[in-house]
Amino acid sequence: MSQRVLVTAGASGIGLSIVKAFAAANRSSRIHICDIDERAGLALVDQLPGVTFTKADVCKEDDVRRLFDDVQRELGGLDVLVNNAGIAGETAPVESYDPQIFRQVLDVNVMGNFLVAQAAIPLLKQSPSASILIMSSLAGRFGYANRSAYSASKWALVGLAKTLALELGPYGITSNSIHPGATQGERFMNVLKDRAACTGTTLEAQMQLALRNQSVQRVTEPDDIAALVLFLAGPHARTISGQMFAMDGDSKAAN
C-alpha cells in the first residue's frame, strides 16, 4: 500500500528504523521526516530516495507550521502520522529534579505531540485510511524512579492517543500508543550509564536490573517497533484504535 507518512524525529534511533521500514514496504510510499539534527536529516535524504526533510523542533509552533507547509508541498496530504519525538530529561529524584528540565521534557514530549497531531488532523481527515501512532514508553505504564518528568509525559501521551481515537474514530482515523521498554540503541545505553552514575553502580548491574523485571529476557529491537507501527498503519488494523501496545518482554516495572 503506497502511503504518505510523516515521522517526527525520524533522522536517527527508533524513528529512523520506522522510516526505513515504510520505505522498504513500498517503494512508492513517500516519507517526510522532521528532526532538530539537520546533518542527520540531510544525510538520510541523500541515502533514501523518496524521503524528504524539514529541520523542525516539534515543540515550536513556528517550526510545526513550517513543517506542515513542507508536508503539504512534498506529500500533498497525509495518511500516517508517527509522533515519535521525545527526550529523556535528567535522571534525579523528584526532590532534586530541575524544574526547568521538567518543563522542557513536558514541552517536547507532550506539547510537541499535541502541536504536530493538531496540525495533521485536517490532512488525515482527507485520507481514505489514516493512522496516528504515538510513541509512549514503558514509563507510560509504570512509575519510573528518578525519571519523573519522562514518566509523567509518557502517561500524558496515553490520554492524548485515547482522546484522538475518540475524536477521530468517526472519520475512520485510528490512534494508538506504543510502549517500548528496553530498546537496543544509544539512548538506552545512555539511560543505563546515567542510572549507574546516579546510584553508584555499574553499567552491567543496571543492564541486569533493567531486564530483571521482564518475563522475556530480551532487549527490544528498533526494527521490531517499526514492524508494529507498519502493521498498525496498515490495512488489517483499521478497527484497532485507542489501544496501548507494550513491547517490553512483559515488564512488571520500569526500573
Ligand X SMILES: NC(=O)c1ccc[n+]([C@@H]2O[C@H](COP(=O)([O-])OP(=O)(O)OC[C@H]3O[C@@H](n4cnc5c(N)ncnc54)[C@H](O)[C@@H]3O)[C@@H](O)[C@H]2O)c1
Give the footprint of ligand X on residues 40-59 (CB under 6 A): 40, 57-59
Q: Which stretch binds ligand X (CB under 6 A): 29-37, 141-149, 161-169, 206-214?
A: 29-37
Is position 145 an interface residue for ligand X (rule: CB under 6 A)?
Answer: no
Which residue's entry shows cell 528498533?
222
Q: Among 7, 35, 195, 254, which residue sits at the site for ligand X (rule: CB under 6 A)? A: 35
- Site map 174..213 versus ligand X, x via CB under 6 A: ------x--x-xxxx-------------------------
Among residues 44, 31, 42, the alpha carbon closest in space to that of 81 is found at 31
Closest CB to ligand X among residues 75, 135: 135
Query: Using CB under 6 A, which of 13, 22, 51, 230 touches ligand X?
Result: 13
Residue owning grid cell 513491547: 247
CB of 83 to ligand X, least distance (A): 8
Q: Terminus-to-terminus CA distance in the chain, angstroms?
A: 39
The answer to whether residue 150 is catalytic is yes
14 near ligand X, rule: CB under 6 A? yes
Q: How far is the CB of 62 from ligand X (least distance, A)?
A: 13
Question: Does 133 help bind ligand X (rule: CB under 6 A)?
Answer: no
Are 2 and 72 spatial neighbours (Cβ–Cβ below 8 Å)?
no
Phi, psi at residue 177, to the nearest 5°? Answer: -110, 145
What DSSP line would sit under 150-164, residue for residue?
HHHHHHHHHHHHHHH
Burial class from Cβ neighbours inside 10 Å (0-12, 13-18, 19+) for residue 56 reads buried
Q: Which residue from 131, 137, 174, 255 is in contact with ligand X, where contact means CB under 6 A?
A: 137
Give bridge partners of residue 244 from the DSSP assignment.
177
Q: Is 48 exposed, middle or buried (0-12, 13-18, 19+ CB in 10 A)?
A: middle
State the minimum distance, in angstroms, from the CB of residue 132 to ligand X: 14
Smallest gap from Cβ 243 to ligand X, in A, equals 17
Residues 87-126 that bind ligand X (CB under 6 A): 87, 108, 112
| Cα dihedral 4→9→15→19 (10° resolution) | 30
Active-site positions read 150
Q: Which residues bind ligand X (CB under 6 A)?
A: 8-9, 11-15, 34-37, 40, 57-59, 84-87, 108, 112, 135, 137, 180, 183, 185-188
